[in-house]
């Protein structure tokens, strides 16, 4: 399981990022009200006694689960610092369907998309008020330039070497840079979260952006979200076929 493997890099990047956010030099963008985002769950987690998605259970998909003392530390941008002195829980969304499908495929590597969706539920969530987020999307053109400036910080350069800080952030086997960036965002409450390219790989080289929102463990991550619908996928008897049921709220 990937986690923070280099505490020196974590500490240097965390401080440099915190300083940049505090000074206002970090690139930000607004996720506007009315934007739809998506999040997937297992049907068994959210259905009621009638085997239909219950709104109260769907809301549980927006609750922060990590960032506490008992955190398994398995998430890329949220969780705890190596010494446990800094923590920030997060909930991960996708800005559109593609990265969400890639996430499902990651946890079902030997399955087709159809089978990965089997017994799944996809929540369509409306952003009800603007979210201010750190812009780490590759599509913005700002992320790599900004991280190059962070890499020139003497303390960061001394421990991170010459490798691209952006590439280190996306490293699937080491969260030293990504966790430092995420916790720096999570600790500065004027930012709601961060926009970042999905780290999941895709055979067809597709990509997309994820939205990571930060909050306190055990609480709904943001009051600026409203669940609008849930799409339930069920396998038909025929191979490779799905039945789809949509519930509106």
* 92/69 Cα distance (integer angstroms): 20
**pLDDT value at residue 163:** 84
Q: What is the pLDDT of residue 140?
A: 78
User: What is the token pair recorded at 64?
Assistant: 């922060």
| Residue 28: predicted pLDDT | 96
Q: How confident is the model at residue 209 (pLDDT cuts 50, 70, 90)?
A: confident
Mean pLDDT along residues 127-152: 92
Q: What does the pLDDT read at residue 238?
A: 61
Mean pLDDT, range 203-219, rounded to an integer:
82
The tens digit of pLDDT for each residue in 58-112 reads 999 999 999 886 777 789 999 999 999 999 999 999 988 766 666 666 555 556 6
Q: Look-up: residue for tokens 């998309």?
A: 113
Model confidence over 36-50: pLDDT tens digits?
999 988 878 888 888
Average confidence (pLDDT) over 178-203: 88
Which residues have CB under 8 Å from 91's CB, separation 6+? Answer: 39, 61, 62, 63, 64, 65, 212, 213, 215, 221
pLDDT in tens, 152-180: 999 999 999 878 999 999 998 899 999 99
């Amino acid at each position: 399981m990937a986690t923070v493997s280099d505490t020196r890099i974590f500490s240097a990047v965390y401080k440099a990022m915190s300083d940049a956010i505090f000074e206002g030099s970090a690139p930000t963008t607004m996720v506007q009200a009315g934007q739809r985002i998506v999040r997937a769950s297992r049907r068994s987690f959210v259905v009621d006694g009638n085997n239909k998605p219950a709104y109260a259970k769907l809301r549980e998909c927006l609750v922060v689960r990590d960032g506490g003392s008992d955190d398994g530390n398995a998430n890329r941008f949220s969780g705890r610092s190596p010494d446990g002195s800094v923590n920030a829980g997060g909930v991960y969304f996708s800005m559109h369907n593609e990265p969400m499908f890639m996430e499902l495929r990651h946890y079902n590597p030997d399955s087709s998309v159809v089978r990965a969706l089997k017994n799944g539920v996809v929540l369509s969530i409306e952003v009800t008020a603007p979210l201010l987020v750190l812009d780490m999307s590759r599509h913005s053109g700002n992320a790599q330039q900004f991280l190059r400036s962070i890499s020139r910080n003497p303390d960061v350069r001394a421990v991170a070497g010459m490798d691209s800080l952006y590439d280190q952030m996306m490293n699937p086997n080491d969260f030293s840079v990504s966790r430092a960036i995420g916790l720096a965002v999570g600790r500065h409450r004027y930012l709601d979260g961060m926009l970042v390219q999905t780290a999941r790989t895709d055979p067809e080289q597709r990509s997309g952006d994820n939205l990571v929102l930060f909050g306190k463990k055990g609480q709904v991550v943001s009051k600026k979200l409203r669940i609008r619908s849930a799409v339930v996928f069920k396998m038909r008897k025929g191979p490779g076929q799905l039945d789809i049921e949509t519930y509106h709220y």
